[in-house]
Amino acid sequence: MENLDSGSFSSPPVIKQLSVFVPNRLGELLKVTRCLDAYGLSIRSISIVEAADHAVFRLLVDRPGLAMETLRTEGYSVFESDLLGVALPSMDSDPIRRVLSALLLAELNVHYVYSLLAPTTNTPVLAVHVEDLDAAVRALSEKGLELIGQEELE
């Protein structure tokens, strides 16, 4: 985990998210997970957004480059996004509120969040998609929050 001084970073530690567009049909999620499993890829977290005719599976995986290549080979439309992984402090009585408050004070829009456990440390993590990664890194770091990167999901 990395606790960043607000002026000492060149690029923020990020987690790569894959968004997979699939038809909204029974069994599609299982097909995607089997495809990844066939290549020994591990899903660390998942979020599903559905519409009438399609769904978007947001995935955090251990090896996003290979996962993207695999899914595209299987015919899926896949896009990559950068998220911030914020370690939730165990000593804090309301760590999610602390993260969201830091982002609100910086006047940053949060597009979505979901949770996971970092497998290397068993630390609860909030994966956050925000409008401005650099500003979010500064805001979170100023509040003493630790950020995790993709390497901690491998």
Stretch 96-121: mean pLDDT, rounded? 92
Stretch 86-97: mean pLDDT, rounded? 87
Instruction: Name, in order, each residue with C-beta under 8 angstroms of 39's C-beta and a sequence gap of 6 or more.
Output: 66, 67, 70
Class of domain 16-81: alpha beta
Fold agreement between 16-81 and 83-153: yes
State percent of the chain over pLDDT 90.
75
How many other C-beta atoms are found inside a 10 Å radius of the C-beta of residue 130? 22
What pLDDT shows up at residue 121? 82
Please provide the average confidence, as pLDDT, over all residues in the chain. Answer: 90
Sequence spans of domains, the chain: 16-81, 83-153
The tokens for 64 are 């996003």
Superfamily of the domain at 83-153: VC0802-like (3.30.2130.10)
Say whether pLDDT at 107 is over 50: yes
Stretch 12-40: mean pLDDT, rounded? 94
| pTM, rounded to two decimals | 0.86
Say whether pLDDT at 4 is over 50: no
